[in-house]
Amino acid sequence: MKRTQPPERIETDRLHIQRLRYEDAEEIFYTYASKPEATRFVSWSTHQFVDDTRAYLKYAVHAWNQGTDFSYSVRLKKDNRLVGAIGLVHAAGTMQVGYVFSPVHWGQGYATEVCKAVLPALKQIEGITRITSLVDQENGASIRVLRKAGFQEVGLLPGGLTFPNQQNAVKTCLVFEYL
């Protein structure tokens, strides 16, 4: 049976993936949202204050309830430590996937593991006809993650996205689709 939105919780062997909560604000801020190296390739500005994170969480809860943006925390099962997040933006039958992880946890396969767990769940959502991700062509790590997770490069979006943490540079992005 098809769902109308993603599940609030998904598990892997190593990770808890669950809907973001207000209570996570400080942990999110200190784990990745305030880290320039973690936020270089994201579409939102690096958080300067915990209140920036709290404001984002208010948006995230509202957007989830509206069915437009589904954001998850990613935690290690072994100690419940926050390591990152994955977000899913829904518009007109397309779900766009993005993620961010603490630099301390890069290179351990968490982003690939999360994508491989979340993507099949997206296929079960009624009305979702396409799953995509846009990535700065200079972001080699994310390109590798997407390919390992089953995405295929389907195009180029020249001058397509503005990256606030790269002096608002408008960057050419690769378009990936999960088929």
Query: Can you tell me which residue has the tokens 């109308």?
Result: 4
Q: Does residue 146 belong to any structural domain of this protein?
A: no
2 φ, ψ to 5°? -75, 145
Q: Does residue 166 belong to any structural domain of this protein?
A: no
Tokens of 86: 């994955």
Q: Does residue 30 belong to any structural domain of this protein?
A: yes
> What CATH number is associated with residue 49?
3.40.630.30
- What confidence tens digit (pLDDT) does each residue in 6-56 have? 999 999 999 999 999 999 999 999 999 999 999 999 999 999 999 999 999
What does 33-97 look like in DSSP terms, one character per residue?
IT-HHHHTTSSSPPPSSHHHHHHHHHHHHHHHHHTSEEEEEEEETTT--EEEEEEEEEETTEEEE
* CA 112/CA 142 separation, integer angstroms: 9
Q: Does residue 92 belong to any structural domain of this protein?
A: yes
Q: Does residue 1 belong to any structural domain of this protein?
A: no
Domains: count for the chain: 1
Q: Does residue 38 belong to any structural domain of this protein?
A: yes
Residue 5 pLDDT grade (very low, low, confident, very high; cuts 50, 70, 90): confident
* CA 81/CA 36 separation, integer angstroms: 20
Q: Does residue 69 belong to any structural domain of this protein?
A: yes
Tell me the residue range of the domain where 115 lies.
Answer: 9-129
